């Protein structure tokens, strides 16, 4: 099942690198594509439960799905994730 999620706080290639690495590491997730200009994360997976795992991971990294709360904590996490992505 191909899924596209639109997320908040996605600003650059560093963010995209962090998201790609972490989402691709989830079992049964493949073909991860992060598009910074659209703030989107596309991927293939097998079940709705896997989609929820991806959403949960994105939130932990500081990239909550559009339409959900974007707290100061999420914004701070995204800056840290971005910095880590730029170093890799």
Domain assignment of residue 74, given as a range:
2-87
Distance CA 43, CA 3 (A): 5
According to the model, what pLDDT value does residue 83 have?
Answer: 79
According to the model, what pLDDT value does residue 22 have?
Answer: 96
Domain total in the chain: 1
> Are the C-beta atoms of 54 and 26 separated by less than 8 Å?
yes
According to the model, what pLDDT value does residue 81 have?
Answer: 77
> Are the C-beta atoms of 80 and 71 separated by less than 8 Å?
no
Question: Which CATH number fits the domain that encloses residue 6?
Answer: 3.30.70.100
Distance CA 4, CA 14 (A): 20
According to the model, what pLDDT value does residue 78 have?
Answer: 84
The pLDDT tens digits for 33-65 are 999 999 999 999 999 999 999 999 999 999 999
The pLDDT tens digits for 8-28 are 999 999 999 999 999 999 999
């Amino acid at each position: 099942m191909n899924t596209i999620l639109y997320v908040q706080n996605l600003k650059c290639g560093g963010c995209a690198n962090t998201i790609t690495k972490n989402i691709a590491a989830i079992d049964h997730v493949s073909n991860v594509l992060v598009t910074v200009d659209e703030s989107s994360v596309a991927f293939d997976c097998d079940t709705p439960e896997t989609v929820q795992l991806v959403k949960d991971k994105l939130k932990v990294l500081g990239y909550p799905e559009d339409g959900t709360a974007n707290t100061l904590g999420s914004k701070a996490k995204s800056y840290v994730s971005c910095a880590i992505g730029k170093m890799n």
